[in-house]
Amino acid sequence: MQRVVSEIQSGVAAELNQKIGSRTAKVGIIGLGYVGLPLISAFTKAGYQCIGYDVDPVKVQSLQAGRSYIKHISSETVAGWISGKQLIPTADMTRLNEADALLICVPTPLNASRDPDLIYIEETARSIAAVLRPGQLVVLESTTYPTTTRDVMLPILEKNPAGLKSGTDYFVAYSPEREDPGNPDYTAAGIPKVVGGVDAISLELACALYSQAIVKIIPVASAEIAEACKILENTYRCVNIALVNELKMLFDRMGIDVWDVVNAASTKPFGFQAFYPGPGLGGHCIPIDPFYLSWLARRQGMTTRFIELAGEINTRMPHYVIDRLGEFLNEKGKPIKGSSICLLGMAYKKDVDDARESPAFELAEMLLKRGAKLTYSDPHIPELRASRSHSLPAMKSVALTPEFLESQDCVLIATNHTAFDYELIVRHAPMILDTRNATSKVSGGHEKIYKA
């Protein structure tokens, strides 16, 4: 960690700093999802007691019973937190004053016009303000556009009925979440943490807290820099994925396999980083964050043409996949309407149970609108849950037996889970549309494998 010059002299800041150092501070995590639970894991391992807050009573009840709903956090781990009183889950937001530090990990979606929707941040800030007490640290972790912490959240907190003042009575910072679900090499505790405060004391306290549980802390000069850092990270990925997606469409016309091209380019030991094409962008961050940045640019009287073009390319990838499917089925004298099509994988990436913003949902909607007889298989998502963005009928994952595969007109690989037996799939499915290059190592059956 870079050295932060101490601004703490006495009073509630000194008391909080002492609690953090002695690990007697209670850490509150607001939002018990794919970011919140790994944070709890990091802080409980560091010896802190955590209070988990979520407005979803089903999540709270599950945790209270020692059951996890996220694959990479086991139920045994959750049960250990509960039995050891390391975690107190609650849906009661009047208990927010019990925590010494409050880390906000709530969703930041887009609205219908693809503008930032900060309703969850705003509602959380109001709940905190209602019970705010001296000596609390509030850190926003949700991905958002620069100035959100200072210009959106802080004014709400400043309206607290006790008249408490930021930087004196309570403290505010921003530290972007950096989660890679399903990647065992990068846990919440093992990923360096960028931290920016709205003032020097808030920065120091936030760094002191995170340094107890996270491998490395990177202090930056302001909350705005920390917010912009996260947007840059995800926009970088979005733009490069758009590039390779556009090249895929071009190379398809030329009969060139884009996967072979990327693999060849990856042999260059400098100046190139591999990005891979797919049926669209998924996950909570990459499909959303660039639109936050382009919205912010419009407010500044600018247009971010490069970013908006990347978003346009990535957004149309599901349409490209369905168009290609229609072409390939047409070659066999079949329309999409009435064809039996099984989507393989509803998660947004391989080997996770995270379906947030998964392009598979858009593929499913488009297939149903075109009259396909749709099924899906995903070992990590046994049944489809309600989605804010998509309207699908209740469905359950089907087993990939030889008989089932043979009954399908096409198997569309949307997510390349390791658990899928690709040799079995290629052997028995009459036609495979592979959007992830998952069948590249299968011997034989290439005449019925199509790429999109």
Distances (CA, A) of 408 to 206, 267, 341, 345, 449: 55, 38, 6, 16, 14
Neighbour tally for 445: CB within 10 Å: 16
Helix, strand, coil share of the chain (percent; to 5):
40, 15, 45
Measured distance CA(452)–CA(435) in Å, rounded: 5
- Residue 190 phi/psi, 5° resolution? -100, 5
Q: What angle do CA 375, 276, 307 make, to 5 degrees?
A: 100
Question: 285 an active-site residue?
Answer: yes
- Hey, what are 111's tokens? 């609205």
Q: Give the containing element (helix H, strand E) for 306.
A: helix 305-315
Burial (0-12, 13-18, 19+ Cβ within 10 Å), 52 = buried
Q: Name the catalytic one among 238, 285, 342, 410.
A: 285
Measured distance CA(441)–CA(98) in Å, rounded: 54
Burial (0-12, 13-18, 19+ Cβ within 10 Å), 3 = exposed
For 315-330, letters b (16+ CB in 10 Å) and e give bebbebbbebbbebbe
- Hey, what are 93's tokens? 């937001």
Q: Is 28 helix (H, G, I), strand (E, B) or coil?
A: strand
Q: Is 217 helix (H, G, I), strand (E, B) or coil?
A: strand
Q: Which residues are catalytic?
A: 285
